[in-house]
Each structure stands twice: as structure tokens, then as C-alpha cells.
Structure 1
């Protein structure tokens, strides 16, 4: 009788430990990719020392974090009443920073703690596009079709687009001087051609490579540091690239990154997929701002050794709202994009199911003992 009473209690404790361990493993695996490359020095690695900072904290580096949030449109300088001189950023975690962190967490679906917890610091440290998130901060979600309850795509202020007769023909060219030499030109050209082709398949816009760099609509180059456009690059795994809204056409990539078109031939843990970044920045060239959907091509961050090569429903709907649909684009392609965007969630559910199935089998064995 005693063993009958002990076994359920022991079993309960074992199950509790298993569930706790499984939950911990799932959370750790969610941030593993972020943490993995943060072991390597890079421009935003310094923010790791701010982990668990909260309102009232005073730590060296908070001023730089405020500058980071200011650059991407979240944190605004406070101006004194008597003049227009900006107050320098301080290392105090003040009320304004707490509001900024909370808003940042809300925008990207993180727990709204107002503190620099692990998930927040992980996202802040992730390499990303240099285009600010102004329109994400001020967005008002709009209801849409049955495929999506809410639209998350956004535009630049004034909703600029290439204002030409449909179908639109845009030329692009690579800088004769500002390129990288460890990838061949056929590899670089191939990555960009595939990226342009993906956008051209859904809207009535054709992209044609030209050798005339000066007259090209879109000008592509790799640059280091301050390169004359007012938005200097910052080094390894910080800002990866930036592109300007229509009809500017400038597309700049950070030459400090380790760019690749094939992860099988590039072993660097900080390698960045060129085609994925090209696909994202072309969205900006067409007029799209950032999306808050992580699976979307227009999501601002991209981890090292990550590939994001499929346009999602939000990307498609956003750009078609600007230019209309390619006559050859079908509803089936839209449904395929929506279905494939759910694969990540399905994989996670599948892992959870396997865990629960194993636990159930364990329970049956224990009860039969």
C-alpha cells in the first residue's frame, strides 16, 4: 500500500521535472541561434553587459543603447526649453528608455517587461538592416483578406513608388570600384538576379542588368564605414546593408561582413547570405518599409548563416498594393506563400507532440511497474 502511495508522488515529481526541463530546453533553443554568434566579437556584442538592466540602473553602455534606439527611430532626444541643443545621452536607465524598451518589446512580440531581459538583448544584438523602423513604431494594423487577419506591411512616409508606366522597366548596375573580391562576379550577379526575379514574378516590374552604372536606376555597391550617404556602416554583424526609397535607387552593403552565396563552401560562423539581404533591400527600393512578421522577407533582422529566400503573403500584398499584380501571378502562389510561412510553427508543434508522446509512453511504463 505504501509503495502505491509513493509511486504516484514520485511519478508526479519526475513528470514535473521533465516538463520543466523540456520547457527550459524549448526556450533555450529559441534563442540558441542568437546566442551562438554573440560569442564572437562584433559591433553590438557590447550590449550583452546590459542584460537584466532596468529603470534606475546606471551602467556604462546605456548611452550607446539609447543611440542605437535613436538611430532606428525608437528613442528621441529631449530638447531643453531654452534652446535647441540636444541633451547628450546618459548612462541612466530613465523613464523614457523604459517606455522605449516596452514599446520595442510590444512591436516584436516579446514579453513586455520594460527591462533588458534575455530575449530583448538577443534581438537588439542581432544583425539587421540599417533602414530605421519609423513606420513600424507608428503603425496601425489594418484588417485584410481571409488569408491574414491583419496586414503588417508598411511603406515609407508618403508611400513613394516608381512612378512610371506599367509595365515598369528598371535597370540595375554594380559599382565598377566598390565590390568585394572573394566572391566572383558571376556569383554576385546570380544572387541579385535571383532576388530581382522573385519580386518581378509578383508585380509588373522588370529588372534588367546594365553595364552603365551612372545611368542605372538602381546602383549596387559594397562600402566600409563612412561612404558619403550620411549613414556609415559600423562593422561586423551590425548593420548589414541599407537601401533608399523610390526613386533614389541606391543599394549599399557593408563590405566588413562575410558575404556568401553558399554556406557549404563558407564555414565562417558569421557568414551572411547575400541573396537573402538582396531580396530584403530590393523591397525597400520598391517602397516597402519593415514588417513585424519574423518570417517575412521585410523583417529587419537576419541571423548569420540564415537564409530567407521566399516572399511571404505580407511581402506580396504590400508590394502589389503599390504596383498591382504580375498578370502571371496566381492565387495558388499566394496560398503557397501563406502555407510555407506556417512551416516554422508546424515544426515547433511537431517537436512538442513528440515530446508529449514520449512522456505518455514513459507514464504507461511507470504505471505498469
Structure 2
């Protein structure tokens, strides 16, 4: 495969000063370039239109530079599409300093012809390991998007990794190879791609395809960022609600505990003393429900609070009823004050474990319907 590196470099010589002067910083997603369209190699499925695929790679490189997308490449060998993409990228005259990230083996994969004249455009990050897989797969965990043209098993693995990471992906299926195989998987689990994006990636190559595909990558990346921002915003909102809920729960716990000294200030056998006995466990039950809600994935504060309050109240009433059966006069004297120390934790546990309480209440042995005996 022959790429027109020298012609590209000659053309860029006239625009080199402008591209460096105008370079501010790359604004687009970092796009990993992978694949090959070598006519001497067999692919599954087969690569079609080898020469046209190489030209398409150069067009895509030019468009990526125009749109301000930095690229990650792995080998300067002409058998891989990176050589053509880098050629088009540099030839665009829009490449920014350090926008071409070269992840290759030390002294073996960074021999791009454009480096000699346009060294400032390249950010070479050599790998000490002798295996190409080390730099290849590790960098795929840091990129924002993956572009596949043709390719074999390594390119297909990159596509699957992109799908698992749910990042922007553009398998150019028109030329076959791993890109077509990846596109078939992509169409079933397209992450942030739309139906139009999938149709675009499967269409025959035509003038304007490069611009459309790069625009699709950028749009997919934007949707991903929007989702991440929405998730982060929802998480911040949930954290604020959780913090507010816990503060309310703490205040309710303090109020419930404050009922204990208040009960000693009231005379036994009065409405006030009975009211404190009822109010304290209800506050503790709501506190337990709020604490429980912080551990649930679906945090429905109103539902949890109501259910916790009901469960705590029922638990409290059943506990007091059992005490009245054993000691009918327990509410008439000092026993009512001592009872508060027991009903507070009972109600709190009832609110904390309201699902278990309701399961017990729904079971056959939750209540006794037979007359009480001595």
C-alpha cells in the first residue's frame, strides 16, 4: 500500500506556520485509530476496495484535524491505517501541537515520515515492553472514541472494548474487515449512537462521508458527556437530599431522647405522660426509616418515612400491649417512665426494618385472635 506522505508534507509546508500559530488546544474527543486494509492480508470478513479504503483513511485524518480532535495511533507501518490517517491529519494544516499521540514500542513504531518536519505535532509515548499489545490496550482505556477501518482481531477487540466502556465508536463498515464485524455488534448495542449514525457507518463511501463520520463521533461523545453530567448532577442532588434527610433524622432522634427527661417532669397517670410515651417511639421510628433510606438504591423519602412510621407505631403498640397483658397497671405509675427506655429502640428498629415488620404482620402468626387467658 502506498500513501502520499511526501506530497502531503510538501503541501503542509506552506501552511505549517499558520497551523502552529492558530493552535490553541484540542477541543474534540481523543480518537484512537485502528485497523488495516493491506491487500496482501486476509481478513474475516474480507476487506473491500483497498485503495479506496486507504484514501478514506486519509480523508478521515484530515477531517479529525479540522474538527480539533486529537488522535492516538500505534504504528507507522504502511500496512496499518494509522499511516494514512496521520498523513491526512498533518496535510490538513489544522493539526495542533501535541495532537498526535503515538503509543508504540520504543524505537519501532514511531517512524512516521511527518515527524521529521512537524515534530511539534507529535506526542510520542514509547512503551518499554516488546509486545505491541501493552501500549495498544492500555491506551484504549483512556481514549474518548475509537475509529476502525478494516482491521483484524486487534481492531475488533478495540471495538468490543469501546462498547464495554460505552464510548464513541465509528466502525466504517463499508470496507469490511473487523470494522464491519464490529458494526454488526454495534447495531445491537449502540450506546450513544443513533439510527442515523448506524446507517451512516454502513453506507458506501462517498464525498462528505469523512465529515459525517467525524461529526457522528463528536456527537456521540457529546451525548456521553451529557449523560455523565446528568448522572453527576442527579448524584449531587441525591447527596444533598441524603444529607438533609440525615440531619432531620438526627433532629428527630434528639427530640425522641429529649422525651425521657420530659417524662420525669410530668405527673404519672396524666394525658401528658401518656402523650410522651406515644410521641417518643413515633419520632424514633421515623428516624429509623430515614436511616434505612440512606442504604436503599431507590431513595423514596416519603414512602420510606410513612412505612417506617407505621411499622414503628405497630411494633410499639404490640410491645406495649404485651406489657399490659402482663402488668395491667404499668401505665399508672413509674412503670410508664421506665417503659420509654424500651419502646424507643423497639420503635427505631421497627422503622429501620419496616419490610420485615410488614412481612410479619401479613403472616398467619402475626396476631393472636383467641381470647387472652391468664
- Classify the TM-score, shorter chain: under 0.3
More helix by share: 2
Whose radius of gyration is greater, 1 or 2?
2
> Which structure is richer in relative contact order (CA contacts within 8 A, separation 6 or more)?
1
> So what's the TM-score if we normalise by structure 2?
0.22
**TM-score (norm. length: structure 1):** 0.22
